[in-house]
Amino acid sequence: MNGFELNDDQQAARDAAREFAQKRLKPLAQSFDEEEAIGREVYKEAAELGFFGLSTPEQYGGLGLDMVAYACVMEEIARASASFQICLTVHNSLASGAIIRAGNDEQKKRFLPKMASGEWIGAYCLSEPGSGSDAGSLTTAAVLDGDHYVLNGTKAWVSSAGFADVFIVFVSTDRSKGGRGVSCLIVEKNLPGMTLGKKEKKMGVRGSDTREISFKDTRVPKANLLGVQDEGFKIALAILDSGRIGIAAQATGIAQAALDEALAYAKERKQFGKTLAEFQATQFKLADMALGVEASRLLTWRAAHVFGKGRATREASMAKLFASETANKVAFQAVQIHGGNGYIREFAVERYYRDARITEIYEGTSEIQRLVIARELLRG
């Protein structure tokens, strides 16, 4: 990235994602929503294009893209299907990202090549039924027993849970320490005592498979400890920056899609002998929507650029907060411009309106983002 321009690699990644998203995902996006599922063939096609190994180093079979290129890809995918994008962003930034950042050589060699190829899909397990924004208060526990950790507890809101192969699970290994007694384990699917809950019925991103996962005396090899025992919360905080950039890109993609639909509709729909686009009231709405989308994109690119150099907590939270709130505003106005048609499922803006809502909640609510930004500012 040079100034506000993408370099050749970033532009190529963006173009490849746009082509796949518009040709393959967009025509299917409504069916993903209605059927509350995405066909495995779509994941296979995305894997063949390298989308499951976007930021994974080339030595492990990934594309080794920088964070700006990653953000560009995530925006284009979300512009067509936020449901599919959430699987990709969780897999890349949170699941693979945790292993890239904290894994040892053996763990990287074992997991990353199959995750980069899409043979294994990753999921991320931090939240619990009683632990959301206050992630440090999680209660899922792991006790070391010989060469294994024994897990007991329940994780909530796990994206891709129904078909994931690798789960990054945060557990309490010393409750007396609170958040300083949290560890991170790589848990493989179908272990004894591991139970998947029912698929959640959600307002939006309905194609994404979201479930609870319960553990009852589930034995996980000690070799699957990620990083150092009792220091797992450091891993969670570190990779949340990349996760928030992924959601900022998702929100920007949803907002761009809503703006696209609103523009097209305003140029075609006539009332009182004029197209909606000829009315100043509509023009002002469109101008504000476009302004928000551009600002969201630039904040996201800036956060991605800073992340590539090191810590980007403030920038990631700013991008995530602004882009998610903008997505909700833009989707709202897109529905308004469509009038009654915006309220029925035949028009895509109805789905964008529902999909946008979650962007202010997961990967840290808007309230949490403001707390993070204020804390960073006060640090000086």
> Rounded to an integer, what distance in angstroms lies between the CA atom of residue 63 and that of residue 26?
24
Task: Among 120, 154, 181, give the residue marking a domain's end.
Answer: 120
Residue pLDDT, tens place only, 278-320: 999 999 999 999 999 999 999 999 999 999 998 899 999 999 9
Check whether 27 has a pLDDT greater than 80: yes
Look at residue 347 and tell me if it is in a domain. yes
Same domain (yes/no): 240, 366 = yes
Q: Rounded mean pLDDT of 66-94?
A: 97
Q: Of 75, 261, 360, 363, which residue is the catalytic one?
A: 363
Going by pLDDT thresholds of 50, 70 and 90, the confidence category of residue 364 is very high
> Tell me, what's the pLDDT at 7?
94
> Rounded to an integer, what distance in angstroms lies between the CA atom of residue 46 and that of residue 313?
29
Look at residue 3 and tell me if it is in a domain. no
Same domain (yes/no): 277, 346 = yes
> Tell me, what's the pLDDT at 1?
52
For residue 53, the enclosing domain spans: 8-120
pTM score: 0.96
Average pLDDT, the chain: 95
Same domain (yes/no): 238, 225 = no
Task: Among 52, 86, 120, give the residue marking a domain's end.
Answer: 120
The domain that contains 360 carries what CATH number?
A: 1.20.140.10
Same domain (yes/no): 252, 374 = yes
Going by pLDDT thresholds of 50, 70 and 90, the confidence category of residue 180 is confident
Q: What is the total count of domains within the chain?
A: 3
Check whether 48 has a pLDDT greater than 60: yes
> Tell me, what's the pLDDT at 135?
66
Give kind and range of the element (H or E) at residue 213. strand 210-221
Check whether 121 has a pLDDT greater than 60: yes
Residues making up the chain, counted from first to last: 380
Same domain (yes/no): 84, 43 = yes
Look at residue 2 and tell me if it is in a domain. no
Same domain (yes/no): 99, 140 = no
Task: Among 205, 230, 255, give the residue marking a domain's end.
Answer: 230
Check whether 2 has a pLDDT greater than 60: no
The domain that contains 212 carries what CATH number?
A: 2.40.110.10
> Tell me, what's the pLDDT at 237?
86
Going by pLDDT thresholds of 50, 70 and 90, the confidence category of residue 132 is low
> Tell me, what's the pLDDT at 23?
97
The domain that contains 54 carries what CATH number?
A: 1.10.540.10
> Tell me, what's the pLDDT at 137?
82
Rounded to 10 degrees, the C-alpha dihedral 25/27/33/35 comes to -100
Look at residue 1 and tell me if it is in a domain. no
> Tell me, what's the pLDDT at 377?
95
Pairing of strands 122-125, 148-159: unpaired
Is residue 363 part of the annotated active site? The answer reads yes
Same domain (yes/no): 241, 347 = yes
> Rounded to an integer, what distance in angstroms lies between the CA atom of residue 249 and that of residue 4?
16
Helices 313-338, 349-357: axis angle to 10 degrees equals 150
Same domain (yes/no): 374, 293 = yes
> Rounded to an integer, what distance in angstroms lies between the CA atom of residue 232 and that of residue 124?
13
Look at residue 375 and tell me if it is in a domain. yes
